[in-house]
Chain A
Amino acid sequence: MGIRMDRPPAEMNLAELTECCIREMSKYRRKEPCDDQYCLEIFRRAVLQRDHDAWAILQQQFSESVRMWLGRHPYREAALRLEMEKTYIDDAFTRFWRAINEQKLIFTTLAAALSYLHLCLNCAIMDTLRAYSRPREEPIPDHGHPEEPLAEDLYHENELWETIKGMLPGERERRVAYLHFHCNLKPREIIRYCPGMFSGEDEIYRLKRNIMERILRNVDTVRWKLGGIEQ
């Protein structure tokens, strides 16, 4: 009597599934024909059944792959200057778990599941780079928090921007205001991103002066939204 490897994956215990998954993944890695139903069954148990052992198996089996992908990422050096390797790996799995649960994602192939896990790693890296690129006036958000600001904060930012736009009469001033305050672009960068729209850096300096003068002239309107501006 031997190990019953021919049972449907749903009837196998986790140890048997893991063994089959490893065997098939070896074929998958060599681009040979393989059966990914065992791995997908582990995914299914981990997510749909909230099986913690199955989730632990997934992390154990794919952490090295995520580490390998991180090592090949084009922004690897910049990312590792900011956070540790393990942080990105853990964050990728956290995002993967959250996305599958919130969006009810279902993977029909192992390739699709791994592609999405890679996408989660990319999000973890880019979110960190974006967070550290913010102009310093507020503390860096804790790692693992959603990158989108709270709805309440976003409302205030939207309201503030609409108020400032309302002060600016021309499309060119509004464009320069957006590129400066939302993108933090310098005049030469604005020229590069908007070819032909402005005559040169001098015009952009002039427009920025007009923008600041209008904001400061109407400081009372924005003070309660912003705070901290005094003339």
Chain B
Amino acid sequence: MNCPHATAPNDEELVSCALDEEPLTGKAKEHLEHCPVCQQRLALYERTNRLLLARLYRSQCPGVTLLNHYCAGMLPPDDAITIVQHLQGCPLCAQEVEEIRRILADFDPSCIAATTLPLYAAPLRIVASPVSWQSLPFSAMNGGSGAPPAGSWPRRYRAAALHISLHLSHTEDGKFMLLGILSSVSSNGCNGVLAGRSVDLFRLPDEQNLQPEGADASKPLVTDTVDALDTIVFTALPAGTYTMIMHMPAGDIIIPGLTIEYS
């Protein structure tokens, strides 16, 4: 229903106000403030425009992933042709394609952040690998000339980014003390992050081992925890063959075959 009043805004003015947010001015604006007919006309244009925009906005446009694949040359020819045809009629997609091309062209795949090894292994259980003397930065025993004799101490092991040094000494009462020092590959220490982690020492039964009566070989003979200086100490150990299991946050590190005996 049109408004017959002389100062009423015409359809073009109302449409531009509703669709393009062009404000009415002068007498047309004053008239609108007091005319329910014109207000109703304007509201109808606004509501129709809102609904159509919401439903149709970019409904014909390819998705962003498709446009990126097009710019990267990853689309089959038919799909690429469809995109090209769309770009000829859609300024928004044409602008996006121009921006995507520039972004992909400016990217340098060698530009990546420095990364570090995880401090402990991702798998749940990992057997630490013995490290040969040759790989050590310092001079080894026997003048650094070669591999140590079998069963000799100290020993080094590696599990992911963790270095484990084991040192053995014996006490006056015939027992042994086993000292373990943990360090990270990328730094001298672990900065105490492993403090509190428990380490079990299991003694393997064999013909020489004399287990105390009632002892359970499935339980550790002794347990210690890593201290703030990244060390573990086991004292008063009898001679024997042991397996060490270190309980780390991401899993267990196992060091088998630790033979402690008089040389």
Using a CB–CB cutoff of 8 Å, the interface residues on chain A facing chain B are 1-4, 13-15, 18-19, 22, 25-26, 28-29, 31, 53, 56-57, 60-62, 64-65, 67-69, 73-74, 95, 99, 110-112, 114-115, 118-119, 122-123, 126-127, 130, 134-138, 146-149, 154, 156-158, 160-161, 164, 178-187, 193, 205-206, 208-209, 212-213, 215-216, 226-231
Contacts and interface: CB of A to CB of B under 8 A. Distances in A.
Given A28-B112, A136-B54, 14 more contacts: A19-B161, A29-B114, A53-B123, A68-B113, A111-B109, A118-B104, A123-B68, A126-B96, A127-B64, A137-B53, A148-B63, A182-B56, A205-B20, A226-B52
A114 B126 CA distance: 30
A43 B60 CA distance: 36
Interface in B126-159: 126, 129-132, 134-135, 158-159
B109 A157 contact: no
Interface string B91-103: 1100010011011
B16 A208 contact: yes
B57 A135 contact: yes
A26 B113 CA distance: 9
B121 to A, nearest CB: 4
B79 to A, nearest CB: 12
Question: Would you call the interface of chain A mostly helix, strand, loop, or mixed?
Answer: helix
Contacts, number: 202
A61 B115 contact: yes
A115 B111 CA distance: 10
A147 B63 contact: yes
B15 A208 contact: yes
B107 interface: yes
Given A26-B114, A114-B109, A181 B53 contact: yes
A122 B68 contact: yes
Q: Which of A126, A154, A179 has the most C-beta atoms of chain B within 10 angstroms of its own C-beta?
A: A126
A51 to B, nearest CB: 10
Nearest to B94: A193
A168 to B, nearest CB: 13
A181 B113 contact: no
A231 B40 CA distance: 9
Q: Which of A110, A164, A209, A226 has the most C-beta atoms of chain B within 10 angstroms of its own C-beta?
A: A209
A205 B16 contact: yes
A18 B115 CA distance: 11
Nearest to B114: A29
A216 B117 CA distance: 66
Nearest to B18: A212
A167 B112 CA distance: 54
B131 A74 contact: no
Interface in B65-121: 65, 68-69, 72, 89-92, 96, 99-100, 102-104, 107, 109-118, 121
Contact of B59 (A123, A158, A185, A206): A158
B50 A216 contact: no
Contacts of A114: 109, 112
B54 to A, nearest CB: 3
A50 to B, nearest CB: 15
A217 to B, nearest CB: 12
Contacts of A136: 54
On chain B, which size bracket covers the interface? 35 or more
Q: Which of A18, A187, A206 has the most C-beta atoms of chain B within 10 angstroms of its own C-beta?
A: A18
A213 B11 contact: yes
A61 to B, nearest CB: 5
B12 A180 contact: no
A137 B20 CA distance: 17
A231 B44 CA distance: 7
A119 B53 contact: no
A75 to B, nearest CB: 8
Given A2-B135, A137-B54, A15 B15 contact: no
Contacts of A215: 48, 52
Contacts of B113: 64-65, 67-68
B55 interface: yes
B123 to A, nearest CB: 6
A147 B15 contact: no
B64 A216 contact: no
Contact of B122 (A18, A22, A161): A18
